[in-house]
Amino acid sequence: MRSRFDEQLTELNNTLIEMGALIESAIAKATKALEAHDTQLAREIIAGDDIINEKEKEIERLCLKLLLNQQPVARDLRQISTALKMITDMERIGDHAQDISELCLLLSEQEYIMNLDLIPKMAITTINMVTESIDAFVRKDLELAQSVIDRDDVVDGLYMDVKKDLIALVRSDPDNSEQAFDLMQIAKYYERIGDHAVNIAEWVIFSITGIHKDTQVL
Amino acid sequence: MNCFEIKGLNLYYDKFHALKNIDLELESGKITAFIGPSGCGKSTLLKTLNRMNDLVEGCRITGDVRLFGEDIYDDTDVNLLRRRVGMVFQKPNPFPMSIFDNVAYGPRTHGIKSRFELGEIVESSLRAAAIWDEVKDRLKKPALSLSGGQQQRLCIARALAVSPEVLLMDEPTSALDPISTGKIEELLLTLREKYSIIIVTHNMQQATRISDSTAFFLLGEVIEYDSTETVFAMPRDQRTEDYITGRFG
């Protein structure tokens, strides 16, 4: 009985890793499309969001099946309920990659008003945060989950830097304002991806300790 | 307030040390679940609480068991103790007599003879056990003609008829179907307001559904005793975790 349950929990972890790989790839590709004005790649990401949504449904079904069949308690219950919470954030991250790609299409004919080096930095940091938050879940690694949470300050700092640069550009030439607004939104999407990775890490901490954001949930 | 306070309790069946240094305080007006693998001592402890183990040859008990502050092993009238601490067993065991006489049996042995008074006790006990509506028109019928679930609720009514303070239940639903089990569980939740209930169960979900506190037993020891939510969500002891998640052994 237990070995079947363990197999199903391993399947849950593997499917989460697969969904994680899909969203990490979507963010990386969206960043590449943005940098290279690559509209084909941007369209590919928009179309690929359905696969991420389908993965979310698959994990949701698996979790509900486990709740029904195994009636889990203790760490099993925390693991499954955490997975259910995580996939909501993971799905939103996929949506943000799609949002960034849509703005890529909008900006595809325009020359950028600024050097984009800060945005790829945001992308790299947030991709690592997403990867490590899911790794922390699979490996039950409390320290790694905490390090994801701590890294949110880096993303927020980069976001403020982008904002500052864009304000300066708009001040120097009001004609920059339309694109500045789009780039600001893009930076905001990366910042939100960081927030979702933090949410995931907070639930990972719950799955290990039973405590979510300093509150004993049960 | 505690219904039972158990301190340094040891129980031996001849040389076998069945309960080891048990310290437990069981709250009144609550449902306490005893869980653990077969042979871990949970039913033995349950039977210690109304001195059913006195009947077992070679059984020796040391330590202190107090019911609302009174030492139950010190000059206690065992019949009175068993009136105060009723018991319901795994398998429904109605007496081979009518439904009415089953419930009236206890009050009669305690000297109540008035037909009117007995009738009132029988009705209120059957109502409290949530079976009155099903049997009120056939009180003279044999109790053994009832279904298993009805028989178990009749046994609960029989236990309630002598106005106990505590109800001990040894796997009371393990022989019942899910509908009857659901009825008994609902019933226990309503009885909790008036009685302290201590239940031995092998059904983890049942413990989580109905009990306020849970004690996990292993090899004659209490490994962990805490609120049911804590025991099933965040057990402190690895052995508890392993048992409730099925990793034990």
Answer yes or no: do A73 and B232 touch at CB < 8 A: yes
Q: Mean pLDDT of residues grouped by 10 in chain A (218 residues)?
A: 86 96 96 96 96 97 94 94 97 97 95 93 96 96 98 98 96 95 97 98 96 85
A208 → chain B, closest CA residue: B234
Query: Angle at which helices A152-172 and A142-150 pack, to 10 degrees?
Result: 20
Give the confidence band of B249 by pLDDT, cuts at 50, 70, 90.
low
A70 → chain B, closest CA residue: B245
Q: Where are the alpha helices (DSSP H) in chain A?
A: 2-36, 39-70, 74-107, 118-139, 142-150, 152-172, 177-209
| CA pair distance B168, B160, nearest whole angstrom | 11
Q: Is A178 exposed, middle or buried (0-12, 13-18, 19+ CB in 10 A)?
A: middle
Answer yes or no: do A210 and B232 touch at CB < 8 A: no
Residue A4 CA from chain centroid, whole number: 31
Mutation test of the interface with chain B: which of A67, A68, A71, A73, choosing the one with the most B Cβ atoms within 10 A? A73
**Quick check: A191 and A156 in contact, CB under 8 A?**
yes
Give the confidence band of B9 by pLDDT, cuts at 50, 70, 90.
very high
User: Which residues of B fall below an 8 Å CB-CB distance to A?
Assistant: 204-205, 208, 229-230, 232-235, 241, 244-247
CA-to-CA separations, B213 to A199, A215, B27, B164, B198, in angstroms, rounded: 32, 21, 9, 21, 10
Give the ipTM.
0.75
Q: pLDDT digits over B96-137, tens only?
A: 999 999 999 999 998 999 999 999 999 999 999 999 999 999
Q: pLDDT digits over B149-197, tens only?
A: 999 999 999 999 999 999 999 999 998 889 989 989 999 999 988 999 9
Shortest distance, CA A73 to any CA of chain B (angstroms): 6
Q: What is the pLDDT of residue A1?
A: 55
Answer yes or no: do B246 and A75 touch at CB < 8 A: no
- Pick from A5, A71, A74: which is nearest to B241 by CB? A74
- Which CATH superfamily is A2-216 part of? Phosphate transport system protein phou homolog 2; domain 2 (1.20.58.220)
- Pick from A71, A72, A218: which is nearest to B234 by CB? A218
Q: What is the pLDDT of residue B247?
A: 83
Residue whose pair of structure tokens reads 């960043």 in the numeric block: A31
CA-to-CA separations, B197 to B46, B156, B160, B187, in angstroms, rounded: 11, 12, 12, 11
Give the confidence band of B55 by pLDDT, cuts at 50, 70, 90.
confident
pLDDT surpassing 80 at residue B248: no
A135: number of Cβ within 10 Å: 16
Percent of chain B surpassing pLDDT 90: 91
Q: Does A5 touch chain B (CB under 8 A)?
A: yes
Average pLDDT, chain B: 94
Q: Which residues of B touch A5 (CB under 8 A)?
A: 246
